[in-house]
Structure 1
Amino acid sequence: MADEGNIITDLGGNADANQPNGADNQPAIGLISQYIKDLSVENPNAPKSYQFPGQPNVDVQFNINSTPVEGEVHEVILKITVTAKAEQGTLYIVDLAYGGLIGMRNVPAEQGHMFLYAEAPRIIFPFARRIVADAVRDAGFPPMLLDPIDFQGIYFQQLQQRQAQGENPAAPMGEA
């Protein structure tokens, strides 16, 4: 039985339970925390905007960014901007930067890059989606339910485009 202060996480099934914490050389990735980094909700034409007829034109943009924080920890930011406009003007703008802290140990660089730009956004997206829906509802409009996003498919598509253009595929991806 391991000491209480010595927690061993064995993701590969081969770790020796007698190794001290940190001596494990198996690959490990985990979500440490997630949070709202920035949230802006604008309703610039209220109360007139509640009278605008017809369906608004809704534009959704998202961007993924990752930066090293300290040691084996990276911050992944999923930025989502939703803008709804009618002929008479803007109904609302929701701008969310939703973050996740990702811990990675003993992970090859290319797999780590893929996790940070494809898998981590997939993990935190449902939480960011709920925040956007609630923000739009709290602005006085029906909740905006964002469609699921294939982050892995977008990652591979952008990777292929970068390789075809002779760019460094490991550089930050930018807007997806």
Structure 2
Amino acid sequence: MSDQQQQQPGQDGQPFFNIQRIYLKDLSLEQPNSPHIFLEQEQPTVEVQVDVAATQLAEGVFEVTVIGTVTTKVNDKVAFLVEAKQAGIFDIRNVPADQMDPLLGIACPTIVYPYLRSNIADTIGRAGFQPIHLAEINFQGLYEQRLAAAMEQAQVAGGNSGIVMPDGSKATH
């Protein structure tokens, strides 16, 4: 046996990323017009919304949640509405500050999203409808859109974005 004490991951100064857990945080299904909606012959319209949220739980521990909402209508009547929140708990240590937001907004949602897709498709199928398979999402594109929208909103609010650059200066665009 060695007398050296084992170091915990991330204590040696090296970047550390670990998935602690992926779990279904919330799931709801509404079928306000059942059973009559099953008799409709028209093609349904489908609206899908996806959102991402990240919360720090402890030092180096983050929860990233991907929220998916699927609303399907037939002749302007809601056939069903599914809302699901799939989350993951991640250990992230010794990652440079300028890389944390992209990690939480791109990499983590990319890991969590396939579980959300599966749970939504399964729920819709078990509700008696044809499963809807959600398309892949480019979380980098979504992240960049949000960043651009936040900067634009900051410019409208007075030109000071409130974003502090790694060198300590204020972002001006």
Query: Same fold by TM-score, threshold 0.5 exceeded?
Result: yes
Work out the number of aligned pairs and report it: 156
Offset of residue 29 of structure 1 = 1.4
Normalised to the residue count of structure 1, the TM-score between the two structures is: 0.81
- Cα 1:63/1:43, change in 2 over 3 Å: same
Q: Which residue of 2 aligns with 1:124?
A: 112
TM-score, normalization by structure 2: 0.82
> Would the aligned equivalents of 1:52 and 1:88 in 2 still touch at CA under 8 Å?
no
The answer to whether 1:39 aligns with 2:27 is yes
Deviation at 1:71, TM superposition (A): 1.4
What percent identity do the matched residue pairs reach? 35
1:141 aligns with 2:129: yes
Superposed CA RMSD in Å reads 2.1
Alignment partners' CA distance in 2, 1:36 and 1:158: 25
What letter matches 1:31 in structure 2?
I
Q: Counterpart in 2 of 1:113?
A: 101
- Does 1:21 find its partner at 2:8? yes
**What do residues 112-145 of structure 1 show as CA deviations (whole Å, max 9, x unaligned)?**
1111111111111111100000000011001110
> Which consecutive residues of structure 2, in runs of 5 or more, have no partner in the other structure?
155-160, 165-173
Rounded Cα–Cα distance in structure 2 between residues aligned with 1:39 and 1:168:
35
Q: Flag as ranges the 4+ runs of structure 1 deviating above 6 A.
A: none
Residues 116 and 85 (structure 1 numbering): CA distance in 2 closer, same or farther, change over 3 Å?
A: same
CA deviations on 1:7-38 (whole Å, 9 max, x unpaired) are xxxxxxxxxxxxx3353100111211010111
Q: Aligned partners of 1:108 and 1:169: how far apart in 2? A: 16
Equivalent residue for 1:65, pick from 28, 53, 61: 53
Structure 2 CA distance for partners of 1:102 and 1:2, relative to 1, 3 Å = farther
Corresponding residue SS for 1:114: helix
Cα distance in 1 for partners of 2:20, 2:152 equals 35
Q: Render the CA deviation track for 1:50-109: whole Å, top value 9, x for unaligned.
A: 111211111111111111111110111111010001115111110101110011100112
2:138 is aligned to 150
